[in-house]
Amino acid sequence: MSTPLRRSTEPPPVRALHLGLGSFFRAHQAWYTHRADDDWGIAAFTGRRADLARTLEAQDGLYTLITRAADGDEFDVMRSVARAHAAADHDAWLGYWASPAVRVVTVTVTEAGYLRDGAGRLDTARPEVAAEIAALRADARAAVTSAPARLVAGLLARRRADAGPLTIVPCDNLPQNGAALRAVLGDAADAVDPSLTDWLDEQVSVATTMVDRITPEPTDVDRRAVRTATGVDDRCPVATEPFSEWVLAGGFPGGRPAWETAGAVLAPDVTPFEDRKLWLLNGAHSLLAYAGSLRGRTTVAEAVADPLCRSWVEQWWDTCAPHLDLPDDDVARYRAALLERFAHPRIAHSLAQIAADGSQKLPARIVPVLLRERADGRLPEAAVRVLAAWFLHLGGAGAPVKDVREPELRPLLDGALSDAAPRVLAALHPALGDDTDLVAAVSSCVVELGSQ
Ligand code: CS2
């Protein structure tokens, strides 16, 4: 007999909102909030799907976080999610924004969720973006579904209610994610109601963050592990690695949970930590997702156990290291720790999951280092390899293709490699398609990797 998971006391009062209820949020921001404060409850909304919200609500927002070390698991029930809502529960969403008790809004909507164009602005050329702007212009309470539109609808509700200042905290792997979100929100606000822009400047602070915790998709094995170890029938546990990092910069005029007591770091500038994480961790992830899957590897651990893939990772890290604004010792320690994290024997982090949305990820993880190298007159083999492997992946080799820009990217592959390569590279950054030496190097690497 196993017991269901229910609260015996009231949940903490809702003082924070979250957009993008999923595994990473539950292993990261909700875990920090749970450890930091008993009186900051989170009302969390899914991006699109309803099932996780329903399952969590049936457990009063409770779930087990499995901290999975190489030699065993720890089980802790997280209490910070006070309410879980499906995306479609738009009236509830607006209701929280109108509440003066809510002071913080965290966001995990993935790189693709920001709906940015190549210049980092809201991509108003997309029909779905234009449609949501029109819907909000007609009715500020319209049931919009994209992240920028849902946030602007919330901001409009907050202004109507005069509910006071708050901070939005983006937690996605984008460089300078605060400025990135602020730009998209500003564009959406401008398009919906230009008078919102001044109010945004006065009342809303957007923090910038670096987030890190490797969290694969939960499995039935995790659920069984909870039942066996604790006797509780938790229908939605999450397993994650012991390592966790959160660096935040920005103002919190309405207050925030004392996240630093749970290990978060408040810093004046996240840039050095963000470069280190996006380039070394996420860059190597993308390299393995494309080049490792070409060699038949399916998880990160499997790929780093392959000496060739591992040498590719080391070569990429050697390329990045001179561009990091951190002491050499720190970088060396971080690299050693990363290798251990990647090789974790009990975490099956699927390369297919990481391969998704490369068009949104590579510009943050690979292109910045590549552009610096090119400016210094070098042609880094490691970056060339990632781009070539991504090209092959788009053509159907290795991990399956799932990309928000897939319909636009597919036709770029048509015709001879000499025509397709510059087109595909330009889709990541215009300068790459015009760089003839780079195009030639990527093309020959495509041939080399494709023939293995
Ligand atoms: C991964 C990240 O799926 C991916 O693209 O690179 O989710 C990575 O696991 C996290 O950023 C780790 O903090």
Q: What are the sequence ranges of the domains in the chain? A: 3-269, 272-450
Tokens of 362: 């590579």
Residue in the structure block whose two tokens are 């929100």: 185
pLDDT of residue 2: 81
Separation of alpha carbons 304 and 423, rounded Å: 31
Q: Is 354 in the pocket of ligand 1 (CB under 6 A)?
A: yes
Separation of alpha carbons 319 and 41, rounded Å: 43
Report whether pLDDT(20) > 90: yes
Q: Is 244 in the pocket of ligand 1 (CB under 6 A)?
A: no
Q: Is 285 in the pocket of ligand 1 (CB under 6 A)?
A: yes
The three-state secondary structure class of 253 is coil
Fold of 272-450: N-(1-d-carboxylethyl)-l-norvaline Dehydrogenase; domain 2 (1.10.1040)
Q: How far is the CA of 399 from the centre of ligand 1 (A)?
A: 16
Sheet holding 245-249, edge to edge: 208-212, 245-249, 265-266
Instruction: Read off the pLDDT of residues 255-267 as tens digits, 9 standing for 90 and up.
Output: 999 999 999 999 9
Fold of 3-269: Rossmann fold (3.40.50)
User: Which is nearest to 204 in space by CA: 113, 135, 107?
Assistant: 107
Query: Span 296-303, mean pLDDT?
Result: 98
Residue in the structure block whose two tokens are 């190298």: 373
Separation of alpha carbons 300 and 351, rounded Å: 6
| pLDDT classification of 297: cutoffs 50, 70, 90 | very high
Residue in the structure block whose two tokens are 């709906």: 115
CB 66 within 8 A of CB 29: no
Q: Which of 29, 109, 212, 214 has the most ligand 1 atoms within 8 A of CB, as the residue to mutate?
A: 214
SS (H, E, C) 40-87: CEEEEECCCCCHHHHHHHHCCCCEEEEEEECCEEEEEEECCEEEEECC
pLDDT of residue 1: 67
Separation of alpha carbons 55 and 76, rounded Å: 18
Tokens of 243: 């390592």
Q: How far is the CA of 304 from the centre of ligand 1 (A)?
A: 16
Helix (H) or strand (E) holding 279: none
Query: Span 416-436, mean pLDDT?
Result: 97
CB 244 within 8 A of CB 223: no
Which atom of ligand 1 approaches the CA of 285 most closely? 6
Q: Give the N- to C-terminal CA distance of the chain in Å, as an integer.
A: 53
Instruction: Read off the pLDDT of residues 430-445 as tens digits, 9 standing for 90 and up.
Output: 999 999 999 999 999 9
What average pLDDT does the structure give for the chain?
A: 97
Residue in the structure block whose two tokens are 């004046």: 268
Q: 208-212 and 245-249: which strand pairing?
A: antiparallel
| pLDDT classification of 451: cutoffs 50, 70, 90 | confident
CB 241 within 8 A of CB 213: yes
Helix (H) or strand (E) holding 221: helix 220-230
Q: What is the CB neighbour count within 10 angstroms for residue 296?
A: 10
Which atom of ligand 1 approaches the CA of 361 most closely? 5
Q: Is 277 in the pocket of ligand 1 (CB under 6 A)?
A: no
Q: Give the predicted TM-score (pTM) of the model.
A: 0.96
Report whether pLDDT(48) > 90: no
